[in-house]
Structure 1
């Protein structure tokens, strides 16, 4: 199971439709896609963009639970590794960019 995802957590099985992405989620996915993000190796991962802590960790954790973001490699507990989009994350980002579907954060 990916970092941070627990089958018993609310949202662990969310559909992840691109039309459900809000502005913050889309911006976070773009930052990860650009290779500017690191993620902490934890059951409640934190995201760092350009070396700075992301101000909306709830969005990070939602995207991890939805299966859109994951660690590129395994790392030590609490360590930081490169964050990458999953195949589902790439699809969701591409669909949201193509459709322009964005909801308010």
Structure 2
């Protein structure tokens, strides 16, 4: 079960990574420890990306084949952590 989070328990790097995913252009690999790519480049802190995925704050937009890059999105919990409005 994903860990519930709010903005106060995110460090600066986690918040910045969530903001980058929210801005668009992020991809995540389909795997149990997904890697994150921002604008086509590997995220410099994969440990943070793994933490955000395990906590249920970022996720693939759809299920891909193992190892495939798919668009990354903020989950409802990720949007709440950043206070991003939910799209209707």
Tell me which residue corresponds to 2:56: 67
Provide the TM-score with structure 1 as the length reference: 0.75
**CA-based RMSD:** 1.4
Q: How does 1:1-105 map to 2 (within 5 A)?
A: 13-94=2-83
Q: Which has the larger radius of gyration?
A: 1
Provide the TM-score with structure 2 as the length reference: 0.88
Runs of 4+ off more than 6 Å: none
Unaligned runs of 5+ in 1: 1-11, 96-105
Unaligned runs of 5+ in 2: none
Q: Any idea what the Cα deviations from partners look like across 1:24-80, whole Å, max 9, x if unmatched?
A: 101110111111210000001000001000010110111111110000011110000
Q: Say how many residue pairs are matched.
A: 84
